Structure 1
Amino acid sequence: MTQELIRLSKRMVELGLCSRREADELIELGRVTVDGQVVDQLGSRVTAEQKIAITAVKMTAYKQPDRITLLLNKPVGFAAWPEAAGKPWLDLLNSEHRDAQDKTGFALLKKHLPHFQVPCGLDTEASGLLVLTQDSRLARTLATENEQEFLLWFTGELSAEALKQMNSRTKFDGQPLKPYKVTRQSDQQLRVVLRAGAPEFLPALCELVGIHLQACKRIRIGRIALASLPESQWRFLQGNERF
């Protein structure tokens, strides 16, 4: 006979181990074991016979910093700034959208959410890596000294001469541009590397040579790459990661 599976958080409440809210937090922190094995995924299910315990010490390799930094794979339609059109990225900062591969064990406290800075913004219609940080020093550094890498998908014909023209701009909206490089990846895809540049000039760059920008995705900021972080998911910047 198949045993009934119960949500782990519900079972913890039934056993009097904690409240439902505390159960979710303890699971995310990696402090819950089932039959001696750590279970840190919300929504996990157990049987009534399995042994559930809460560890006394957080199972983390390093301490959560006072000022946290998050990496978000922003989808199209979400705004990077409060004044921009689109859904707020704040809507994605919940346990449902936390990357399943994030093993830091850090807790995301609600009181932290309003205090994030977004030093490297993205247009609402662009997607990819977004940095959310409470570290003002890091925010200033990323805003002025970082290198960003983008993939662009376009329609239209792009000649070698047009590609050369794309690499020749020195100003945008009357302001000087820092060095950047546009290279062709395929017939309909370009790679752009900016050095503390403004990614909002990319549509204008395509318009300059008569091609239509269909999609724009940022895949790297400094040494931090988007890698396997799924769209709409976020994770903590790890202690050994540096921009």
Structure 2
Amino acid sequence: MSLPPDRPVPPQKAPPPSSSQPFRRAAPPAAASNEPVRLNKRMAELNMCSRREADEWIANGWVKVNGQPAEMGVKVTPSDRIQIDKAAKGQQANQVTILINKPMGYVSAQAEDGHEPAVTLFTPQNRWVEDNARFFFHQNQLRGLAPCGRLDIDSIGLLVMTQDGRIARQLIGEDSQMEKEYLVRVAYHGLGQPAPTGQLVRMDDDDPVTTNVQSVFPPAMLAKLRHGVSLDGQALKPARVSWQNPEQLRFVLTEGKKRQIRRMCELVGLKVVGLKRVRIGNVMLGNLPLGQWRYLAPHEKF
């Protein structure tokens, strides 16, 4: 995986979105019960909208329960009938989801340590010329646009940003099993013999193996990457890990802990020297150029 020598030239800065916070992980759906729950929670569980959208719709008078206008904070049971006004559905149809090929040096969410957030790339000048989606760029599309998950500042590839809480829940909800695929270029530093504490001692970092890493990397360590690594005292879910070529691994994960792949690799004597996310669910990065973006097409489903 090679990176272009030139970083994309930042366009004229767009106004920051009204909510630059990433979508928070939604709670998993509650077990089937006849116990009353708040209407906004019930609407999110039914994948009608996000809780934030539900509150907005209720405030606008766009939601009825059993034929009556709903009040904020009302509780409902599974037997209650929820109706949504056409105005709410029309607003939802105009929500956008964009795919950005994030370059190095950009953060996923809010600006930090002098680094710009990836949303600053979402301008007409940076739209991919081959994007055939029906949407036209408008400043309103920055409102509530937030990343669905992170992509580290030193990583590149597919980053999803959306106004649609349903998509956010699908990608990063606590019950999400969405696959995320990465190409990871590595160097092998090796691991020494176990110390008295049982920890493996890292070998000399001054002379890592950077070519044909596959030939020297122990198969047992590859198996450990697939299932057997713990981070922060918690065992990771099984991952699909295979060699893409002698210097590059392919990871497919269904979870996303902070700097997970880099930390996994460190535990088996590998150092990540390049990381690119190429797929989320059924949506591929494809030929989207580095630093450019496109809309999620209506026919595309994660």
Question: In the TM superposition, what is the alpha-carbon distance from 1:110 to its structure 2 partner?
Answer: 1.4
> Which deviates further from its counterpart, 163-172 or 116-125?
163-172
Q: 1:164 aligns with which of 209, 219, 223?
A: 223
> Which deviates further from its counterpart, 168-177 or 216-225?
168-177
Alpha-carbon distance between aligned partners in 1 of 2:134 and 2:298, rounded to the nearest angstrom: 12
Alpha-carbon distance between aligned partners in 2 of 1:196 and 1:237, rounded to the nearest angstrom: 22
Residues 87 and 222 of structure 1, relative CA distance in 2, 3 Å threshold: same
Q: Helix, strand or coil for the counterpart of 1:112? A: helix
Q: 1:65 aligns with which of 80, 86, 93?
A: 93
Alpha-carbon distance between aligned partners in 2 of 1:174 and 1:137, rounded to the nearest angstrom: 31
Matched, 1:179 2:238: yes
Alpha-carbon distance between aligned partners in 2 of 1:126 and 1:84, rounded to the nearest angstrom: 16
Q: Helix, strand or coil for the counterpart of 1:78? A: coil
Question: In the TM superposition, what is the alpha-carbon distance from 1:177 to its structure 2 partner?
Answer: 2.5
Partner of 1:125: 154
Matched, 1:231 2:277: no
Name the amino acid aligned to 2:254.
R
Q: Helix, strand or coil for the counterpart of 2:100? A: strand
Q: Helix, strand or coil for the counterpart of 2:147? A: coil
Q: Which has the higher strand share?
A: 1
Alpha-carbon distance between aligned partners in 2 of 1:66 and 1:112, rounded to the nearest angstrom: 9
Q: Any stretches of 5+ residues in structure 2 without a counterpart?
A: 1-91, 189-212
List aligned pairs for 1:1-243, cutoff 5 A.
Answer: 65-82=93-110, 84-85=112-113, 86-144=115-173, 145=176, 146-156=178-188, 157=213, 158-198=217-257, 200-243=259-302
Alpha-carbon distance between aligned partners in 2 of 1:154 and 1:193, rounded to the nearest angstrom: 16
Name the amino acid aligned to 1:149.
E
Alpha-carbon distance between aligned partners in 2 of 1:180 and 1:229, rounded to the nearest angstrom: 26
> Which deviates further from its counterpart, 125-134 or 176-185?
176-185
CA contact (8 A) 1:177 1:197 kept: no
TM-score with structure 1 setting the length: 0.69
Alpha-carbon distance between aligned partners in 2 of 1:209 and 1:175, rounded to the nearest angstrom: 17
Alpha-carbon distance between aligned partners in 1 of 2:118 and 2:256, rounded to the nearest angstrom: 22
User: How many residues are matched?
Assistant: 181
TM-score with structure 2 setting the length: 0.56
CA contact (8 A) 2:186 2:274 kept: yes
Alpha-carbon distance between aligned partners in 2 of 1:126 and 1:220, rounded to the nearest angstrom: 14
CA contact (8 A) 1:178 1:197 kept: no
Question: In the TM superposition, what is the alpha-carbon distance from 1:171 to its structure 2 partner?
Answer: 3.1
Question: In the TM superposition, what is the alpha-carbon distance from 1:200 to its structure 2 partner?
Answer: 1.6
Alpha-carbon distance between aligned partners in 1 of 2:121 and 2:160, rounded to the nearest angstrom: 13
CA contact (8 A) 1:84 1:124 kept: no
Alpha-carbon distance between aligned partners in 2 of 1:206 and 1:154, rounded to the nearest angstrom: 8
> Which deviates further from its counterpart, 223-232 or 103-112?
103-112
Residues 84 and 161 of structure 1, relative CA distance in 2, 3 Å threshold: farther
Structure 1 consecutive aligned stretches of length 4 or more whose deviation exceeds 6 Å: none
Q: Helix, strand or coil for the counterpart of 1:227? A: coil
